[in-house]
Structure 1
């Protein structure tokens, strides 16, 4: 019988998950996409208004520097504010546990009953978890606030990821002009490739079809650049 059970039951397979709460993926993805799209659109607008040349290079560098700093500052402020709010709510929960541990234990037991555990088992689980105040705090924070108190997002990590990613994305349409490109064609080709590759990479990271992510980002970027090029051309004609 033992041999049959060993043959019919496959060994347990463990799997790991990627870090989805570290606070770097969203600003990095957003920064890279925003840098590429916004600087591509900015350079296209300048070329449409005044043609390729020193002005396009200066505009590209200005867009890279201003955008990267703005993105980093915005991400830092946003994540810092979010983290401070989380810490304030965690402090409230810590105070509730210190003031009324029995009531918090009863609240936890009621939560587990609502999720399908019978009353006796829910009481035992809540009592076991509440025996250690720090463990009880972690459980209450996860259940009530939906966050992990030991893994709050880092403002500095978010700001750094956003700055570097934006600068990398913004550099893509600027590269041809650094090598003396006289028109927008090379920047368009490089930006189109970059948009598709960035979109495909992000889609792969999120388990979406790579080609769909690439085409979606390509459409958004080309659409933005087309609008700004057209506006820049109209403005250049009007001003001249």
Structure 2
């Protein structure tokens, strides 16, 4: 018999879910909101330049607002984590028995008896930082936020919003006829949603085709609803 060299199994996991989430938020809103604004204005005014200027203004304002929202959300998550971390560090020292019972309860959820969990508890008690980290993850379900997460989230969402917003607005920059620009904008926006959905599906492992169809349908419905509302308001005025 020949010895077979052992090759360790390497698991591939996607670890940038927060970044993907920020891109999804920025692109989805960027593709739908400027589209609805430009489409609604194209039915109310004949000046394509005015549509483009209004669209650019909306993209600028929307990217700032969305980026600020992402910043505040990420900052809030970081502050919440820091607050819970301080509390957990205090409880490990001041209430060791209660924390030990919580360890047993956590392992009990996985079918591990108190006797089997005791050596693990003792090992954690000898390593307070690991003990606190274990409780943060498995008791509270909190992961330590990445450094500069708030700034990266703001920039990612804002940049994605701008990129998404330019897609439906581009036809109005290239085509003089508003009706023709609107038709082209619809097709380009749907194509962008499909491509974006496929890429997202490949990144997160949910399947490119399924994600493309889902993203196109959801984004198309959202854009159609926003467009319908914009036209309704234009006719009402």
For 1:163, which of 158, 163, 180 is the aligned residue? 158
Alignment correspondent of 1:15: 11
For residue 133 of structure 1, what is the aligned residue in structure 2? 128
Call closer, same or farther: CA 1:51–1:95 in 2, change over 3 Å: same
Cα distance between partner residues in 1 of 2:214 and 2:226: 19
Is contact 1:83-1:152 (8 Å) kept? Answer: no
1:95: how far off? 0.4
User: In structure 1, what is the Cα distance between the partners aligned to 2:61 and 2:92?
Assistant: 46
Give the root-mean-square deviation of aligned CA atoms: 2.6
Structure 1 53/198 Cα, relative in aligned 2: closer, same or farther at 3 Å? same
Q: Does 1:83 align with 2:78?
A: yes
C-alpha contact 1:174 1:187 (8 A) present in aligned 2? yes
Encode CA deviations 1:33-90: one digit per residue, 9 max, x unaligned: 1101111111111112224511210121012111111101111112211221121111
Contact 1:105 1:127 in 2 (8 A): no
1:226 Cα deviation (Å)? 3.5
Q: Equivalents in 2 of 1:224, 1:120: separation in Å?
A: 54
Give the SS at the match of 1:50: coil
Give the aligned partner of residue 69 of structure 1.
Answer: 64
**Corresponding residue to 2:218 among 201, 217, 220:** 220
Q: Structure 2: 5+ residue runs without aligned partners?
A: none
The two structures have a TM-score, normalised by structure 2, of: 0.85
Query: Do structure 1's residue 49 and structure 2's residue 44 form an aligned pair?
Result: yes
Matched residue, 2:100: 105
C-alpha spacing 1:110/1:185, structure 2 compared with 1 (3 Å): closer
Question: 31, 35, 57: which one pairs with 1:36?
Answer: 31
- Cα distance between partner residues in 2 of 1:230 and 1:102: 61
Shift of 1:110: 4.7
Cα pair 1:41 1:229 within 8 Å, conserved: yes
Aligned to 1:204: 202
- Give the structure 1 partner of residue 53 of structure 2: 58
What is the SS of the residue equivalent to 2:144? coil
The residue matched to 1:49 in structure 2 has which SS?
coil
Structure 1 counterpart of 2:140: 145
Q: 2:88 aligns with which of 88, 93, 99?
A: 93
**Higher mean displacement: 28-37 or 108-117:** 108-117
How many residues align? The count is 234
Gaps of 5+ in 1: none
Counterpart contact for 1:48–1:229, Cα < 8 Å: no
Mark the CA change 1:231 to 1:46 in structure 2 (over 3 Å): closer, same or farther: same
Moved more, 83-92 or 50-59: 50-59
